Amino acid sequence: MEFKKINNTWILRIDKGEKIIDSIKKFSKINKIKLASISAIGAATNIRIGYFNLETKVYNETVFNKKYEITSLIGNLTTKDNDPYLHMHINFSGEDCITYGGHFVEGTVTAVCEIILTEIEGEVTRYFNEDSGLNVMSLNLL
């Protein structure tokens, strides 16, 4: 992985064989980033996505093992228990141009993944919400 900062925006390149979520978390921890907006494109395999079942409050996961083009990867970075917490969604397609999408769990880069991470001043934490079954943002507004 290589990166460069321009003002409050980081440009990251994740290379072949590297895991996308792991790389972003590691990068965020090293650079002490606690809040950011993220967008990316690239190519990956072993893409694990989830669909949150509102009845069971569990993510049903599916793994896609072919080589895919990431047409859109968006989300945010917050913190939970003082660690980087990523909430990302992905769209990707294969040779047949059929597009899949969902909650992005992880994927391994096959060529390159180019990320624009815009750092936001401040911090937003997350906590587990019993009612929804999700880790939600804590926005203590006064």
pLDDT at 141: 63
C-alpha to C-alpha distances, 124 to 24, 80, 82, 104, 139, nearest whole angstrom: 17, 9, 10, 20, 7
Burial class (CB in 10 A: 0-12, 13-18, 19+), 97: exposed
Q: Which CATH number applies to 2-138: 3.30.1330.80, 3.40.50.300, 3.30.450.70, 3.60.40.10?
A: 3.30.1330.80
Q: What would the pLDDT profile of 79-94 be if each residue is shown by its tens digit?
A: 999 999 999 999 999 9
Strand partners, 85: 78
Task: Please say if the pLDDT value at position 22 is more than 50.
Answer: yes
Q: Domain segments of the chain: what residues?
A: 2-138
Task: Please say if the pLDDT value at position 42 is more than 70.
Answer: yes
